[in-house]
Structure 1
Amino acid sequence: MTTSSAPSAPSANPLDGRIAVVTGASSGIGEASAEHLASLGATVVVLARRADRLADLVARIEKNGGRALAISADVTDTAAVRAAADRVAAELGGADLLFNNAGVMLPAPVEELRTDQWQHQIDLNITGLMNVIGAFVPQLVTSAGERGVADLINTSSIAAQNIFPNFAVYSGTKAYVTHLSRHLRTELGPKNVRVAAIEPGIVGTELQSHVTDAGALEWLDGSKETVDWLTPQDIARTIGFIAALPPRVNLQQVTIMPTGQTG
């Protein structure tokens, strides 16, 4: 008599053996995602400028039984990012999961000519993103060839799709991230590197504390009164879900909205 076995339960640690690099890891979405990926079994490399915040994060991860390495670096510094990638290769054998998350949001009316803020957003949201891609994609390709899958996940925003007054420059940088991700998927997908763009709506993070424009602050404050904002942990669980999917599955673009946010 032939018997059929019941389906095996999902692994409690589906990312065992994986090496995940998370940028912008000193707060918000990056911090929460690093902790969550570590809880799923990944060894996590946390990368950001604030060394003290990274040290605290590593201590929490290790206290909970995870493994983590802190690297203090500014993603807009090409040499520092390349040095970080070299360290990951030397100490851990290379990354197979990259959550490219560092970014900044500085809305203001374009006629105010806040060129310093424009440049800061372009430097971090675009140039910094590309520095990280340039440094770590070769490792992802190598890892995918060895294990059959690797992941590049880029943080975009619902602002890449929707229209918000005074957010033109920020929205433009995030539209770049989404469109770039689609193109990279055509290059890297055949090499078993999955590429995803995450487009969150409003998430309660440090981003809002950087905003100085009165109109944008009023809009954000009003939204907080009427909408239950997403949390960094909501996004972290989504990152973990994407990374734990079977190698044949690529969620190339994921829009995550608060239930009550309509725009």
Structure 2
Amino acid sequence: MTVNSPQPLLGRSALITGASSGIGAATAELLAARGARVALLARRKDRLDELTGRITAAGGTALAVPVDVTDGSALGAAVSQVAEVFGGVDLVVANAGIMLPAPIEEQRADQWQTQIDLNVTAAVHTVGAVTPLLVAAAAGGRTADLFTTSSIAAQNIFPTFAVYSATKAFITHLSRHLRAELGGKDVRVSAIEPGIVGTELQSHVTDQGARDWLAGAAASVEFLTPQDVAEVIAFAAALPRRVNLQQVTIMPTRQAA
């Protein structure tokens, strides 16, 4: 299939973490619409079942796999289940994450650990679980993609977002290294770095200063939608096998930094 085809991802088998909402859900729907079979990994079974229903009603193929991706053994079992059902995996979107900004002086160690567990540790376990499948797909002559969801916060400075930003800088740098390690095996690795996206991430924020900052941004900037980010992922996945978009920054037009 070509990038200009209505279904350029026909025959691809995708696995998406954090698929119950936001960027993950939008990406799952779009990849399915473009022909890929999609496995949906997240904790909220009700959300996954609803999303699976929408995808199948639209003529797509989806598999819901409820799992807590911070549980490394459970995640490994979920990835194995997807590989068995789909006969392999050649497109992965490691998207699960959370944003909990707060001034460092508040010593919110609970929130620090939650962000590290989900944004860093779970991402590394996801990469570890899917890499053999992607290498095998590439060795078999198929296009193989690993997308990681980072953030513009990996590059820029946002006071009170220190721990969140550090986790995203980890993801961007991890992705660069993975590309160097896996590119020679024809596995493409892409770090996706969005600016502000209108998702439920903002609803998890408990710090009032950060909430006020986000509200002020919303008054002056039209946020990206999850579908905007999904379009970029779907486009990159449909490019010729020789083309790897290593790092893509996606900004709202009015967001300066």
Give CA deviations for 1:34-59 in whole Å, capped at 9, x if unaligned: 00000000000000000010000000
1:108-187 matched pairs, under 5 angstroms: 108-187=102-181
- Give 2:62's aligned amino acid: A
**Paired position in structure 2 for 1:72:** 66
User: 2:209 aligned with 1:215, yes or no?
Assistant: yes
- The TM-score, its normalising length taken from structure 2, stands at 0.98
C-alpha change, 1:9 and 1:38, in structure 2 (3 Å) is closer
Give CA deviations for 1:74-124 in whole Å, capped at 9, x if unaligned: 110011111111111211111100000000000000000000000000000
Max radius of gyration: which structure? 1
**Paired position in structure 1 for 2:9:** 15
- Give 2:151's aligned amino acid: S
CA distance in 2, matches of 1:34, 1:179: 25
CA distance in 2, matches of 1:244, 1:38: 13
- Give 2:80's aligned amino acid: D
C-alpha change, 1:9 and 1:32, in structure 2 (3 Å) is closer
- The TM-score, its normalising length taken from structure 1, stands at 0.96
CA drift of 1:147 comes to: 2.6
CA drift of 1:9 comes to: 8.6
CA distance in 2, matches of 1:201, 1:210: 17
User: 2:61 aligned with 1:34, yes or no?
Assistant: no
C-alpha change, 1:42 and 1:9, in structure 2 (3 Å) is closer
CA distance in 2, matches of 1:80, 1:147: 30
**Paired position in structure 2 for 1:63:** 57
Give CA deviations for 1:221-248 in whole Å, capped at 9, x if unaligned: 0000000000000001011001000001
Q: RMSD value over aligned CA atoms? A: 1.0
Indicate which of 38, 43, 47 corresponds to 1:44. 38
- Work out the percentage of aligned pairs sharing the same amino acid: 63
Query: SS of 2:40's equivalent?
Result: strand
CA distance in 1, matches of 2:141, 2:219: 47
5+ residue gaps, structure 1, are: 1-7
Give CA deviations for 1:185-216 in whole Å, capped at 9, x if unaligned: 01100111000000000000010000011110
Decide whether the 8 Å contact of 2:3 with 2:239 is kept in 1: no
5+ residue gaps, structure 2, are: none
- Give 2:253's aligned amino acid: T
Indicate which of 81, 92, 97 corresponds to 2:75. 81
Decide whether the 8 Å contact of 2:90 with 2:142 is kept in 1: no
- Give 2:159's aligned amino acid: P
- Give 2:30's aligned amino acid: H
**Paired position in structure 2 for 1:225:** 219
Structure 1: 4+ residue segments shifted above 6 A = none
**Paired position in structure 1 for 2:48:** 54
Q: How many residues align?
A: 256
**Paired position in structure 1 for 2:95:** 101
Decide whether the 8 Å contact of 1:148 with 1:192 is kept in 2: no
- Give 2:31's aligned amino acid: L
